[in-house]
Structure 1
Amino acid sequence: MPRISAVSPKDAGAIIKIGYRMARKQVGEVPEPFAVMAHHPKIFVASARHELALQKAMQVVPESLVELAVYRTAWTVGCSWCVDFGAMLQRLNGLDVDRLKEIADFETSDKYTDAEREVIRYADAITSTPMGVTDEQVASLVDTYGEKGVIELTYQISHENQRARFNHALDITDQGFGSGDSCRVPWIAEEASKVT
């Protein structure tokens, strides 16, 4: 249970209810971080707009590499919610989700390509404290993806650090997206028990 409870639809204002409907349409359920953030409608709306704009802005780096970097960042920070959601996104994109079990051994695992290893190393360098990004890393990524691509990758990894740390701080844990059984938000269980 998160340190701050989720706002149920019956307690939500009109804008939050619209946001909940859009989230259900997009991912099949209301993500719990979204429902916790609903306590502050202005941040809720700002976050939702930002996420939608970010999705549209990503055009250079292959989505599979971005998702892998974001997943590794969430895994490193220790955000089980983000790891769960990231696994779902990779599964929905037709990627090999089983290889994520070997993310700790990405350097030696045959499940990862050289390009994936480079992106994971970059995610690790950004996420470490103090940050460990080198000139050589950035130059190599610029050679492959261009400056625009490095901006995308850096922004996504940095943004995942923000999301993962927000969720981890508020003890928002996995919701079952990765398994396809997303039902941990409290009012979902209440609604299901009323139906049966």
Structure 2
Amino acid sequence: MARIPTVPEAEAGVLGRLVYRLVRRRYGAVPEPFAVIRHHRGLFWSALVAELALQRAARVLPARVRELAVYRTATVVGCSWCVDFGTMLQRLGGLDVERLARIDAYATDPLYTRAERLAVAYADAMTATPPTVTDAQVAQLEREFGRAGLLELTQSIAVENQRARANHALGIVDQGFDAACRVRSGEREPAQAPGQ
């Protein structure tokens, strides 16, 4: 259960109820992050518009490359909700989700292409604390994907870092969108803050 309760549909307001119905129709359930952020109506609309705009704008990279980098970011941060929802989106998009279980071996696994390996390595470098991105890595990505592709990849990974870290902080966990894929138990556990 999230650390902040969701806003029930009956209390979401007229426009909020409309959004709830639309996303329920599209995904089968109201995504919990939307229902939690509904407590702050300005942020709710800001997040909704930003997500829709990113979805429409992200058309330069092949979806399989972009979504794999986003998925990797979610697993590194440890956001089980993002892994769950992202796996469902990949499955609905016709992408091969069976290979997601092997993402930790992306650097050598023949299931991953050169472009996918570069994108996942970039996701790792951007998500590391502190980030470990190098000039050479960015130059290689620009050669591979072009400047617009590099910027799309960078923005997609950065936004997923924001989503995953916010969900993790608010205790939002997998919702059952795709039961076949979970954050594996061997991944990093968050450090406890002093005094906890």
Q: Same fold (TM over 0.5)?
A: yes
TM-score in terms of structure 2 length = 0.88
1:30 corresponds to 2:22: no
1:20 corresponds to 2:26: no
Tell me the distance in 2 between the aligned counterparts of 1:168 and 1:58: 25
Tell me the distance in 2 between the aligned counterparts of 1:35 and 1:48: 11
Tell me the distance in 2 between the aligned counterparts of 1:114 and 1:80: 27
SS in 2 for 1:81: helix
Tell me the distance in 2 between the aligned counterparts of 1:111 and 1:137: 22
Q: In the alignment, residue 116 of structure 1 is paired with which amino acid?
A: E
TM-fit CA distance, 1:167: 0.4
1:161-180 matched pairs, under 5 angstroms: 161-179=161-179
TM-fit CA distance, 1:65: 0.7
Contact 2:167 2:173 in 1 (8 A): yes
TM-fit CA distance, 1:29: 1.7
Q: In the alignment, residue 75 of structure 1 is paired with which amino acid?
A: T
Equivalence for 1:143: 143
TM-score in terms of structure 1 length = 0.88
What are the Cα deviations for residues 164-183 of structure 1, in whole angstroms up to 9, with x where unaligned? Answer: 00100011000111139xxx
SS in 2 for 1:145: helix
Tell me the distance in 1 between the aligned counterparts of 2:92 and 2:18: 24
Equivalence for 1:190: none
Tell me the distance in 1 between the aligned counterparts of 2:48 and 2:163: 12
Tell me the distance in 2 between the aligned counterparts of 1:128 and 1:103: 16
Give the ranges of 4+ consecutive aligned residues of structure 1 lying more than 3 Å apart after TM superposition.
Answer: none
1:1-196 matched pairs, under 5 angstroms: 1-179=1-179
Tell me the distance in 1 between the aligned counterparts of 2:22 and 2:49: 12
Tell me the distance in 2 between the aligned counterparts of 1:137 and 1:101: 25
TM-fit CA distance, 1:105: 1.5
Contact 2:125 2:133 in 1 (8 A): yes
TM-fit CA distance, 1:90: 1.1
Tell me the distance in 2 between the aligned counterparts of 1:149 and 1:96: 21
Q: In the alignment, residue 88 of structure 1 is paired with which amino acid?
A: M
Larger proportion of helix: 1
- Give the % identical residues: 55
Tell me the distance in 2 between the aligned counterparts of 1:9 and 1:131: 39
Q: Structure 2: 5+ residue runs without aligned partners?
A: 181-196
Tell me the distance in 2 between the aligned counterparts of 1:109 and 1:168: 29
TM-fit CA distance, 1:15: 2.0
Equivalence for 1:193: none
Q: In the alignment, residue 144 of structure 1 is paired with which amino acid?
A: E
Q: In the alignment, residue 8 of structure 1 is paired with which amino acid?
A: P
Tell me the distance in 2 between the aligned counterparts of 1:54 and 1:112: 25
SS in 1 for 2:136: helix
Q: In the alignment, residue 61 of structure 1 is paired with which amino acid?
A: L
Q: In the alignment, residue 140 of structure 1 is paired with which amino acid?
A: Q
How many residues get paired?
A: 180
Contact 2:115 2:144 in 1 (8 A): no
